[in-house]
Structure 1
Amino acid sequence: MKYRSAFDIIGPVMIGPSSSHTAGAARIGRVARTLFEKQPKKALISLYGSFAKTYKGHGTDLALVAGLLDFDTFDERIPNSLEIAKQLGMEVIFQEETAVPEHPNTVKINLFDEYDHELELIGISIGGGSIEITELNSFKLKLSGERAILVLHNDRFGIISSVTSVLSKHKINIGHMEVSRKEKGNTALMVIEVDEKIEDHVIEEITGLENVTRVIRMVN
């Protein structure tokens, strides 16, 4: 196995006993929070495989909620995240699922705000604190949680070229990109992981493109 950095060998700086069950879980929760773009009023957290069996002992429950509160993996408030969430008025419900997932460390998170707007996300913790988001509101994708943008758009000719042209103009290199759609000609989701920081004016330029309906920026 090849390692890209020392991080891949020693794992992340973190609070908790397990990089996959705590650090990875915290990162999944934080990605969900970022994509929801606000603190949820309610979180329904469904745990699968190893997560379902060991989440209390390994602090996976604490880590997931900490991520939803926008705490980083090394935040000293993680052990108290459930109580903090309660104090902030965030309802948290855990469900242990019996279905066999493709990956043992799998979680599905459903977030709701006060108007019952919902986000559904499925994530896996692949070890060493690394994660992958594999589904977002029924869109299949592969998102590592690193520096990236998600572009929700109408499925029309030329939109992918328009977005990548903006990134090229600003000398932003694409490390990974994929597009998912539910059906031809309907809504599609573009996931673009990049090497450079994407400034606000670039986000605004992409948001202003024809047929782009929403842009979400993620940073590592």
Structure 2
Amino acid sequence: MTATTVNYKSVFDIIGPIMIGPSSSHTAGAVAIGKAAREVYRDDPTKIVIHYYESFAETHKGHGTDYAIISGILGFAPDDARVPDAVNIAEERGISVSFIEEQTDSPIHHPNTAVVELSNDKHAIELSGCSIGGGTIEVRNIKMEGYDISPTGTLPVILAIFKTPEDQDKFNKDLAEMSIINKTQKYLGSQRKDMLLEYELDTRLKADQIKALSALTDEMIYM
């Protein structure tokens, strides 16, 4: 099972989103992978390393995948005029950017695979995602804070770390009070004393909901 963006709901999802081209899979999808990595990292990286596999490794330069994925990491929307200049903008901000064309098969078993490594002098994360068409992506693995996570639900999802069962209970009650429906709630384990849980949601959250829920735990990731 993998974490996938919201299922296709209209012909516009199949055609693809409004974006800076040329390809929804290689450009808009790459923006979405970069954005997911940004959400997980929750900080400003000083170093970005992108590992491309299979189709992405072969065509990333010609299809704009490089500037697209960096623009997602920088927080640009797919139709932002700055998207084509994202690599230069990152480097102007003092961020080291590297692209590696891997010659092996995708570690997450999809031809349009990017493994994103973000780091600074405080912490590092690794996110493995793939673009499956129309700007839609799957996040199949996340390595962060000692955790090795393979999300199981369709996006949107919340990954939340709780220090005590009471913190988790409070979070669950607030979800219910805010009428946020989580279809599944799965304990993903821990390499520390904290508890990591994944919540698969029915609908995307609003900005005020994300802010309110983030206040309930020091470590919450929304994708």
Range of TM-score over shorter length? 0.7 to 0.9
Aligned match for 2:52, one of 38, 47, 54: 47
Distance 1:69 1:54 in 2: 22
Cα pair 2:159 2:196 within 8 Å, conserved? no
CA gap 1:201/1:184 in 2 versus in 1, 3 angstroms: closer
Instruction: Using the TM superposition, give the Cα deviation of residue 3 of structure 1 relative to its aligned residue in structure 2, in angstroms.
Output: 4.6
Q: What residue in structure 2 maps to residue 210 of structure 1?
A: none
Stretches of structure 2 that go unaligned for 5 or more consecutive residues are 1-6
Query: Percent of aligned pairs with the same residue?
Result: 37
Structure 2 counterpart of 1:168, which letter? Answer: A
1:111-122 → structure 2 map (5 Å cutoff): 111-113=118-120, 115-122=121-128
Distance 1:67 1:199 in 2: 19
Bigger RCO (CA 8 Å, 6+ sep) = 2
CA gap 1:55/1:194 in 2 versus in 1, 3 angstroms: same
Q: What residue in structure 1 maps to residue 87 of structure 2?
A: 82
Instruction: Using the TM superposition, give the Cα deviation of residue 185 of structure 1 relative to its aligned residue in structure 2, in angstroms.
Output: 6.5
Instruction: Using the TM superposition, give the Cα deviation of residue 202 of structure 1 relative to its aligned residue in structure 2, in angstroms.
Output: 3.6
Tell me the C-alpha RMSD between the 2 structures. Answer: 2.6
Aligned match for 1:131, one of 130, 137, 144: 137
- Paired residues, what number? 208
Q: Does 1:29 align with 2:34?
A: yes
Distance 1:158 1:109 in 2: 34
CA gap 1:43/1:26 in 2 versus in 1, 3 angstroms: same
Distance 1:99 1:186 in 2: 35
Instruction: Using the TM superposition, give the Cα deviation of residue 76 of structure 1 relative to its aligned residue in structure 2, in angstroms.
Output: 1.3
Superimposed CA distance per residue, residues 157-205 of structure 1 (whole angstroms, 9 cap, x where no aligned partner): 687655333211221122555442256966524244352432533432x
Distance 1:54 1:133 in 2: 21
Instruction: Using the TM superposition, give the Cα deviation of residue 23 of structure 1 relative to its aligned residue in structure 2, in angstroms.
Output: 0.2
Aligned match for 1:58, one of 63, 82, 92: 63
Q: Does 1:153 align with 2:162?
A: yes
Classify the secondary structure of the residue corresponding to 2:104: coil
Cα pair 1:105 1:124 within 8 Å, conserved? yes
CA gap 1:82/1:185 in 2 versus in 1, 3 angstroms: closer
Q: Does 1:163 align with 2:171?
A: yes
Stretches of structure 1 that go unaligned for 5 or more consecutive residues are 208-212
Instruction: Using the TM superposition, give the Cα deviation of residue 99 of structure 1 relative to its aligned residue in structure 2, in angstroms.
Output: 2.2
CA gap 1:143/1:51 in 2 versus in 1, 3 angstroms: farther
TM-score (norm 1): 0.82
Classify the secondary structure of the residue corresponding to 1:141: coil
Structure 1 counterpart of 2:76, which letter? Answer: F
CA gap 1:166/1:4 in 2 versus in 1, 3 angstroms: same
Q: What residue in structure 2 maps to residue 69 of structure 1?
A: 74
Cα pair 1:43 1:112 within 8 Å, conserved? yes
Instruction: Using the TM superposition, give the Cα deviation of residue 135 of structure 1 relative to its aligned residue in structure 2, in angstroms.
Output: 1.2
Instruction: Using the TM superposition, give the Cα deviation of residue 81 of structure 1 relative to its aligned residue in structure 2, in angstroms.
Output: 1.2
Distance 2:183 2:201 in 1: 5
Distance 1:109 1:159 in 2: 31
